Amino acid sequence: MIVIPNSKVRLLSTVPFTNTYEHVRTFTDANDQYTYFSSRPSKYYDNLTYQREEVAVKVPEGYDQLIDYNYLMYQNTEFGGKWFYAFIIRKEYVNPDTTRIYFQLDVFQTWQFNFNWNPSFVIREHRDRWNADGSPVINTVDEGLNYGTDYKTVNITQVIPHTDVFFLVMVCQRRMDVNSKEIEPNLNGSIQPLTYYVHPFRMDGSVPSITMDGLNQTLSPIDEVLTALYTSTETVNNIASLYITEYIGHDSLSYSMTEFEPVNIQDSTGTDFVTLRVKNLPQYKTLVKSQGNKYNGYTDVSESKLLMHPYTVTILTDLKGNQREIKNEYIEGQNLDIHIKGSIGTNNKVSYHIDNYLMGDIANSGETALENAIINNNPNDVPIITDLLSAYLQGNRNAIQNQKSSILFNQSMGVAGNAIGGNILGTVSSAGHGYLEMAGLMAKQKDIANTPPSISSMGGNTAFDYGNDIKGLYIIKKEITPEYRKKLSDYFQLYGYKINELKIPNLKTRASFNFVHVTQANITGDVPNEDLNQIKGIFERGVTLWHGDFVLNFDRGNDEI
């Protein structure tokens, strides 16, 4: 025991943290720290016998008068003006006028301004949630948290390339608008031996206004077109394929005479109609339909990570068996822009994709983005009586569709099998620490099974699709249920986000408190080794750093500084 006179001790009450170090208080400097502690209800003593740390000091005070005191600070004038801070861990009655106080050094408060951080592996921390423009800061590290077994659909948007306009495509062996028995090749994406006619129309039978080189052009009503096609055996036998599509690879209803030409088709019975013949179409055009901010439709949240996958998901589907799951955070920028590609071929083929999804800065992203596209090649055929060539084309297309349906079935059963056979996370070892115990309770139990809405093609029936308004692309936005959204929001507010990154941790980026959890804290400073190791352990277990006189007041706002 070292006996030194002139030791100063101040006993403090209502200090709101303990030697578990789950919650600690930060200060801007030593003066700020001293002002805070000296302002607590206290009893001050001079010239006490100094005893070693984690031992005891006798104070001239009755036991009952010290019940509410849980902390002390002391200064040894012979060792400079530094104040040491300590937790009172036990009081012992000595006599009516004397009490022995057992204490333990508070290593964090005592050495708070004597150690420095070097890059350490940060497991989780509070970091910025929102960018300056209000968009969420992207954080995709898997939290490993239980977010339920179901999604709630919160928004459905239907995207049709030309809103209410569709196209009847007539694929012929020979031209119908001239009296010719010869096959006349044309340029339609590539050299084609067939002749193509397209006729825009609305489902109510009307025909939209179109322009040819800026001049208005009137086409025949759709019922007249179909009547003319079916009244002539010669015309019917000339048709190789007849189908309806939503997009022909042309981004407007304004046409150029170099690419299309209006023609009058008249058969031997005298029935005629005006339609468009594909004349010279070397390249198709992509149509872009902007759907606004990609997060529109989702519930407003205070924690931006709840807008990331798997807590939200955007589904692109045509409700015909083609589906693509989109993770919003991998869409570059804030806008959800749907790019639509089409063609005028022997069958119906339209693709929908988000051009800036998972692309980065690579060249030709517009083409490579098709790997994440919805490609609809389900036939929306109009029945025809065909000759051998037409029968071959129709049969070949249907065989391809059947093969695709089989593949979809097998894929879906595989997804379902994986969902059924998923492993449950092992139990988390108990460390007796609040954060680790909470993490164990919140551990992810099961992924939501994201199987397509159908395991076989829903398409292939023109009347069913269009009669039930199943057309175009559907953007379906889903999010976890409100119950789990609240649980996770509370968890993120308490413990920040998982980071798993080598960096200097954020110690004071929030107004009220910062949570920090690291592994192998890389801390150096002018601190005794034993105490320095204790400080490392505080951060390696996870600690909440409070930045004002409101420790444990979680009702306060905690916005970014």
- State CA 505 to chain mean position distance: 24
Do 49 and 67 fall into the same domain?
yes
Do 302 and 337 fall into the same domain?
yes
Please report whether residue 460 resides in a domain. Answer: yes
Report pLDDT digits (tens) over 359-372: 766 655 555 578 88
The pLDDT of residue 432: 47
Please report whether residue 124 resides in a domain. Answer: no
Q: Phi/psi of residue 385, each to 5°?
A: -95, 120
Preceding amide of 96 cis, omega within 30: no
Tell me the β-bridge partners of 278: 260
Do 88 and 177 fall into the same domain?
no
The pLDDT of residue 401: 52
- State which residues form the domain around 185: 166-281
Do 173 and 87 fall into the same domain?
no
Do 275 and 314 fall into the same domain?
no
Please report whether residue 431 resides in a domain. Answer: no
Do 106 and 220 fall into the same domain?
no
Buried b (16+ CB within 10 A) or exposed e, 407-439: ebeeebeeeeeeeeeeeeeeeeeeeeebbbeeb
The pLDDT of residue 80: 78
- State the burial class of residue 518 (Cβ atoms within 10 Å of its Cβ: 0-12, 13-18, 19+): buried
Please report whether residue 116 resides in a domain. Answer: no
The pLDDT of residue 2: 38
Residue 330 DSSP one-character state: G
User: How far is Cα 187 from Cα 131, in angstroms, rounded to an integer?
Assistant: 49
- State CA 507 to chain mean position distance: 27
3-state secondary structure of 437: helix
| Total domains, the chain | 3
Please report whether residue 556 resides in a domain. Answer: no
Do 190 and 213 fall into the same domain?
yes
Do 275 and 355 fall into the same domain?
no
* pTM for this prediction: 0.83
Please report whether residue 511 resides in a domain. Answer: no
On the CB side of 360, how many CA atoms lie within 13 Å of its CA?
Answer: 2
What parts of the chain have a pLDDT lower than 50?
1-5, 386-390, 392-393, 400, 403-432, 451-459
The pLDDT of residue 145: 94
Do 353 and 463 fall into the same domain?
yes
Report pLDDT digits (tens) over 429-441: 334 477 877 888 8
The one-letter code for the residue type at 387 is D
Please report whether residue 555 resides in a domain. Answer: no
Report pLDDT digits (tens) over 203-227: 988 999 999 999 999 999 999 998 8
Nearest residue to 357 (alpha-carbon basis) of 380, 326, 334, 325? 326
Do 295 and 396 fall into the same domain?
yes
Please report whether residue 25 resides in a domain. Answer: yes
Do 272 and 309 fall into the same domain?
no
Give me 302's structure tokens.
């205070």
Do 323 and 400 fall into the same domain?
yes
